[in-house]
């Protein structure tokens, strides 16, 4: 009986020893596998495969079979026709070359190391910062506009308003007439001084009379300009009233795309937007920039935001034609009406 008990105890010891060895082997294997899984390959130089870091295949090829040891190159196979890889890689197959759409022209054919390059056909364009899902038709300048920049494959036509007769008259009144008055005054003063120095015969006018004439001409000019300003203010006094509160004002924002692109920054600075606001708007798509800036202006002004303020700013900048077009659209769309109607 003692002999049997001894054999049982001996058998239990053998089982415990074997179990401890198995646990130790499993633990060491897990640590080893985990360290292999944690391995990181060099970016753009190697790719990971089965806990190994294999060297990339060169551009124009793909990985047909991986490497068997670390930092070695596997078997690389050249790309077939109409397939490519542009960079070193561990891809299992080459990439397919794209086909240019019907609205595009091919400027570079596909090679084993470069994809096909396409551009929009003449008369259409795609903006470089947008996904080119379809080429847009180039815009044409209106009859009252002139071309500033031609349409290219990556930009639309840029147009600006031609200077109207009203603008030309304003320039004449505000620039030419004051300069003429200054020349007349200067000539009169010089003539008076020369007459005094030479002690020539007394003319029909004394020096005081000459100065009086000069001042009179300035007063006449000032009165003429004041009358023109009063006429403009009288014309602007016909205020426009919104038919649906602030919603009417917001719906007119699209109409202000009418503004000449060369006057837009001056316009927004005139109505009170800061240079920082204008710079921040440069990140917005060009076709949405005017709308976003007007939203910023409306939030800044709050209850004081008024359609009449925007129209007055355009007239001040001699953009009367744009102002009249915007007013016509606002009235025809049922957004505003004149106060006296």
| pTM of the model as a whole | 0.38
Cα-Cα end-to-end distance for the chain: 125
Model confidence band, residue 38 (pLDDT cutoffs 50, 70, 90): low
Tell me which DSSP letter residue 101 carries.
Answer: -
Model confidence band, residue 34 (pLDDT cutoffs 50, 70, 90): very low
What's the chain's average pLDDT? 81
pLDDT above 60 (res 231): no
| Spatial separation of the C-alpha atoms in residues 2 and 284, rounded to whole Å | 94
- Tell me the average pLDDT across 327-339: 93
Model confidence band, residue 213 (pLDDT cutoffs 50, 70, 90): very low
Q: Which residues contact 120 (CB under 8 A, 6 or more apart)?
A: 103, 104, 105, 126, 132, 135, 153
Model confidence band, residue 26 (pLDDT cutoffs 50, 70, 90): very low
Contact status, residue 218 vs residue 185, Cβ threshold 8 Å = yes
Model confidence band, residue 16 (pLDDT cutoffs 50, 70, 90): confident
| Spatial separation of the C-alpha atoms in residues 199 and 216, rounded to whole Å | 26
pLDDT above 90 (res 77): yes
What would the pLDDT profile of 133-168 be if each residue is shown by its tens digit?
A: 899 999 999 988 999 999 999 999 999 998 765 555
| Spatial separation of the C-alpha atoms in residues 15 and 24, rounded to whole Å | 14
Q: Which of 9-13, 35-39, 44-48 has the highest mean pLDDT?
A: 44-48
pLDDT, greater one: 131 or 237: 131
């Amino acid at each position: 009986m003692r002999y049997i008990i001894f054999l049982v105890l001996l058998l239990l010891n053998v089982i415990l020893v074997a179990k401890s060895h198995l646990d130790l082997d499993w633990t060491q294997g897990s640590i080893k596998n985990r360290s292999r899984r944690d391995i990181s390959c060099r970016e753009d130089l190697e790719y990971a495969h089965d806990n190994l870091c294999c060297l990339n295949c060169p551009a124009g090829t793909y990985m047909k079979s991986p490497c068997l040891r670390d930092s070695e190159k596997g078997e690389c196979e050249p790309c077939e026709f109409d397939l490519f890889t542009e960079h070193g890689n561990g891809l299992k197959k080459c990439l397919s070359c794209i086909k240019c759409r019907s609205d595009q022209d091919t400027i570079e054919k596909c090679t084993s190391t470069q994809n096909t390059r396409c551009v929009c056909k003449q008369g259409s364009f795609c903006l470089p910062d947008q996904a080119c899902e379809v080429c847009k038709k180039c815009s044409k300048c209106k009859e009252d506009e002139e071309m500033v920049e031609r349409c290219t494959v990556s930009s639309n036509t840029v147009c600006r308003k031609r200077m109207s007769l009203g603008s030309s008259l304003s320039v004449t009144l505000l620039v030419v007439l004051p300069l003429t008055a200054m020349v007349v005054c200067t000539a009169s003063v010089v003539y008076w001084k020369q007459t005094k120095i030479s002690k020539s015969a007394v003319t029909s006018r004394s020096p005081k009379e000459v100065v009086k004439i000069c001042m009179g001409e300035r007063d006449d000019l000032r009165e003429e300009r004041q009358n023109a300003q009063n006429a403009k203010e009288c014309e602007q006094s016909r205020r426009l009233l919104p038919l649906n509160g602030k919603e009417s004002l917001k719906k007119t924002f699209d109409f202000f795309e009418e503004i000449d692109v060369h006057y837009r920054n001056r316009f927004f600075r005139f109505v009170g937007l800061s240079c920082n606001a204008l710079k921040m708007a440069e990140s917005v798509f060009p076709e949405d920039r005017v709308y976003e800036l007007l939203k910023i202006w409306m939030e800044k002004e709050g209850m004081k935001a008024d359609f009449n303020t925007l129209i007055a700013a355009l007239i001040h900048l001699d953009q009367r034609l744009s102002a009249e077009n915007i007013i016509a659209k606002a009235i025809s769309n049922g957004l505003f009406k004149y106060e006296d109607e």
